[in-house]
Amino acid sequence: MTPTASQGFVSLVGAGPGDRTLLTLAAAERLKAADLVLYDALVSPEVIAIASRAQCFSVGKRAGRRSVPQDTIIRVMIRAARRGRHVVRLKGGDPFVLGRGGEEGLALRAAGIPFEVVQGVSAAIAAPALAGIPVTHRGVASGFVVVSGHDEASYEPILESLAPASATVVVMMGLGRRRAIAGCLLDRGWAPDTSAAIVSAAATPAAHTWTGTLEQLAQAASPHPQGVTGTIVIGAVVDLATVLASPPATDTARAAEGKG
C-alpha cells in the first residue's frame, strides 16, 4: 500500500547510516510529501531538511538521556493519521533492524491505520563498509551476526552460542558495554588477538575508526568521547580495512614500487 492524498497514512522510513546520498529514492519521496515527521536522534539535519513542507519533531532515544516514550510516539502517529495526515516515522538505518519498526507496524495494524515500510541501508552493514570492513569475505568469514549491545540479556545468549571465530560479530548500541561483550567472547574461547574495530559517526564528516584486538576492546579506556555512537565489529575481516579503506595507488606510485 502507498500513501494517497485522501487518507491518513504512516510511512516507516529508514534514513540509512547518516549521509543524505545514501537515502533510497523512495525515502526521499516520502519525506518530500510528508505532513509530519517524527525522527530519531541519529538522523542527520541534511536528511530532515528534505521534508521542507512538514512539521518535524525529534523523538529519538539516547542512552542516559530523557526521551519520548515509545507508546507516546505510537499515539502521536495514530492520532495524526486519523486526522488525514501523511506521517513519516524516520529511523536511522533500517526500520526493521533494531529499530522497533515491527512494534510500530503491529500497533498501526491494530489501530486500523494504513502504513508501509520503506527500507533503509542498515548501519550494521554500512558502518563497517564505510571503514573498509566487509562483514563477509570469502575464506575469512562466511556469515555475520548482528546484536544489540545495550542489554546483556539481549546479546549474551547469542554470543555464547557462537563457536570462536565462526562469524563476524557486529554490535549496535554497545559502546557502553564493550568490556562485557569482549569478556563474553573471551570466556567462550575467542582468541585475545582477534581483530576488533569501533566505527563511530559513520557516513558523517566526524567519522572515525579505532582498530585493535578483542583483548584491547575489553580494556577500560574508551577510544571515543562520551555520547558518540559507534558500531563494534569483531573478526578477521577487520584486517581488510587497511587495504580496502586506502586510496588506490596511482600509476606513478605503482611504477615506483616496481609494479607498473
CATH number at residue 146: 3.30.950.10
pLDDT band for 249, please (50, 70, 90 cuts). Answer: low
| Eight-state DSSP code of residue 22 | G
CA atoms within 13 A on the CB side of 255: 3
Q: Which of 35, 40, 91, 94 is catalytic?
A: 40
- Does residue 253 fall inside a structural domain? no
Angle at 74 between CA 72 and CA 79, to 5 degrees: 95
Check whether residue 44 and residue 103 sit in a common domain.
Answer: yes
Q: Which of 61, 91, 151, 239 is catalytic?
A: 61
Across 64-68, 74-78, 117-121, 133-137, least confident range: 64-68
| Digit-coded pLDDT (tens) for 43-86 | 999 999 999 999 999 998 765 556 789 999 999 999 999 999 99
Which one of 121, 143, 167 terminates a domain? Answer: 121
User: Three-class SS of residue 209?
Assistant: strand
Check whether residue 225 and residue 129 sit in a common domain.
Answer: yes
Q: For residue 61, indicate whether it is catalytic.
A: yes
Check whether residue 140 and residue 37 sit in a common domain.
Answer: no
What sign does the dihedral 129-132-138-142 (CA atoms) show? negative
17: Cβ contacts below 8 Å, ≥ 6 apart: 92, 93, 121, 122, 123, 126, 127, 130, 202, 203
- pLDDT given for residue 220 in this prediction: 43
Check whether residue 52 and residue 149 sit in a common domain.
Answer: no
- What H or E segment, with its residue span, contains residue 254? helix 251-256
| Digit-coded pLDDT (tens) for 207-221 | 889 999 999 998 745
Q: Tell me the pTM.
A: 0.86
